[in-house]
Amino acid sequence: MTTTPFRVCFVCTGNICRSPMAEHVFRRHVEEAGLDGIVEVDSAGTDGWHEGDGADPRTVRVLQEGGYTSAHTARRFQRDWFDRLDLVIALDSGHLRTLRRLAPTPRDADKVRLLRSYDPAADDLDVPDPYYGSMDGFEECLKMVEAASDGLLDAVREGVEGRGTA
């Protein structure tokens, strides 16, 4: 018997900085937890300006320096994806509002959460957009993503166990 994977999608604005960074970091957490094959991880943007592009070179650099994979093709989040996703992880409160407005049902809107809400030490729940800044912003973004990944993994593990697929 095959089971449907637990699906997580990270969403930022253009899908070239924050969300692909979160996707690659979290994918490694999933693999290290032995949940690959049970949990699927991807990312998208609220806007389609960069569709088809790779990740920003600065994102690729911090991911590679951190020992993460970095292959990526940007795409825009589609409303009909809600039906197949278990969690939609917004990188800031603007994305959260946009995605909740886009959600076809209240149940789908409840799937949308802020990434940093999974970091108990976070005082601000937004991951700032590093696009217009220096490498420091990308490095800080990576730290924020890494800090939230353990808590998110715990929540995903609970979701998987709740389905009886672990």
**Residues with catalytic annotation?**
12, 18, 129
Indicate the Cα dihedral angle 17, 143, 98, 57, nearest 10°.
0
Nearest CA to 20 out of 45, 39, 38 is that of 45
Burial classification of residue 131, based on how many CB atoms lie within 10 Å of its CB (0-12 exposed, 13-18 middle, 19 or more buried): middle
Residues contacting 68, CB < 8 A, separation 6+: 24, 25, 28
